[in-house]
Structure 1
Amino acid sequence: MTDQFIYTTPLDPRATPLIEDLIHEYDSRYGDLFDREGAVVELNRYPPEAFAPPEGNFLLLLRDGETIGGGAFKRYDATTAEFKRIWTRRNLRRQGLARRLLAELEAQALRQGYARIYLTTGFRQPEATGLYLTSGYRALFDPDEDLAVRRKLPFEKVLGVGKEPVDLARAGPVSTSVPAA
């Protein structure tokens, strides 16, 4: 069993399982809060170019060629990347895949010159909240407030310093094999 990170685009056919499952996940957790179009509107809020180098990136985790996870980031400001769409296949959760995706996205954001990560998750995603809190992210909200009123829960993390940014505008696709957990 071989796991492999690849940097690609949301338009890559291998991204389809990620996008379809996110639509299902968001609709099942937040369907009563969305308008008629639901999660499809949320997932199409940003054009694919927002997740392209040099200001963003789109990551898939493949296992033996099959998509099992993914995530993306885009520019939030000059020093901050905003993480979006972090996902692992439902039947493979609780195996550390999301933590590996998060670490890889952080490393790539750092390589692209970002010093800080900003992200939000929904109030009906306690698993994501737990992941971020145990991965060094700081909650930018009061956990004692009514999270249902807030809806979006923002987090931040300051990344390491001293790494040279990589000019990915000139670099081709990246593929990195990693041992399966």
Structure 2
Amino acid sequence: MTFTPSRGSALSVRRTTVDDPLARPLLEELAREYISRYGSAFDLERYFSEEFAPPGGAFVLLLEQGRPVAGGAYRRYDAATAELKRIWTHSAHRRRGLARRVLRVLEREAAERGYSRIHLTTGPRQPEARGLYLAAGYRPLFDLSADPESIGPLPFEKHLEAPAS
């Protein structure tokens, strides 16, 4: 599916499932990206889609004119912690702050569902994701001065504020 970026158009959030056909272009592109950087898209196959469904999880798409431009999910990590997964912006729509918007939606929904912390890992060959999480206030659980390749998956956490009643 080809997208033409259209700056300034209205965005909407769709709460859906990993199996939604609208999610397919984003997840296929994410798989190609993982394969090009790591030789495998194993992380996309290692979780059941039900893990990203309520009440413990969520999967959202950010739509522009009805087409997916970004998305992401979380799943239950433990009783107090949600784990972010599959945060992705379509390549034709990058550098617009869309991943940051997806993060805010997921953080808000996780807090509303009673989670007080978010945990995530990103790959050592994804400096864009590392930068996003640092800029969004996530605390690295690794030595920032170390070579990312020597660490493996880069863990982050963020404590959530309880939603206002």
Displacement over 6 Å in runs of 4+: none
Q: Does 1:10 align with 2:18?
A: yes
Q: Deviations over 1:9-42 (max 9, x none)?
A: 00110010111011011111112xxxxxx20x32
Q: Structure 1 counterpart of 2:32, which letter? A: H
Name the counterpart of 2:3.
Answer: none
Alignment of 1:137-148 (within 5 A): 137-148=138-149
Q: Does 1:48 align with 2:56?
A: no
| SS, match of residue 94 in structure 1 | coil
TM-score, normalised by the number of residues in structure 1: 0.84
8 Å CA contact retained: 1:71, 1:85: yes
Q: CA separation of 1:137/1:12 partners in 2, compared to 1, >3 Å: closer, same or farther?
A: same
Whole-angstrom CA distance in 2 between matches of 1:163 and 1:30:
41
Q: Does 1:161 align with 2:162?
A: yes
Name the counterpart of 2:61.
Answer: 60
Identity of aligned residues (%): 55
Name the counterpart of 1:79.
Answer: 80
Once the 2 structures are TM-superposed, how far is the Cα of residue 127 of structure 1 from its aligned partner? 0.8
Unaligned 5+ segments in structure 1 are: 32-37, 165-181
8 Å CA contact retained: 2:70, 2:102: yes
Whole-angstrom CA distance in 2 between matches of 1:105 and 1:26:
22
Q: Structure 1 counterpart of 2:46, which letter? A: R
Name the counterpart of 1:123.
Answer: 124
Unaligned 5+ segments in structure 2 are: 1-8
CA RMSD in angstroms comes to: 1.1
8 Å CA contact retained: 1:10, 1:48: yes
Once the 2 structures are TM-superposed, how far is the Cα of residue 163 of structure 1 from its aligned partner? 4.3
Q: Deviations over 1:125-173 (max 9, x none)?
A: 1111111111110000001223102120000000002546xxxxxxxxx
Whole-angstrom CA distance in 1 between matches of 2:117 and 2:164:
13
Number of corresponding residues: 157
Whole-angstrom CA distance in 2 between matches of 1:146 and 1:135:
22
| SS, match of residue 107 in structure 1 | helix
Q: Deviations over 1:83-121 (max 9, x none)?
A: 000000112111111111111110111111111000010
Q: Does 1:23 align with 2:31?
A: yes
Larger RCO (alpha carbons 8 Å, 6+ apart): 1
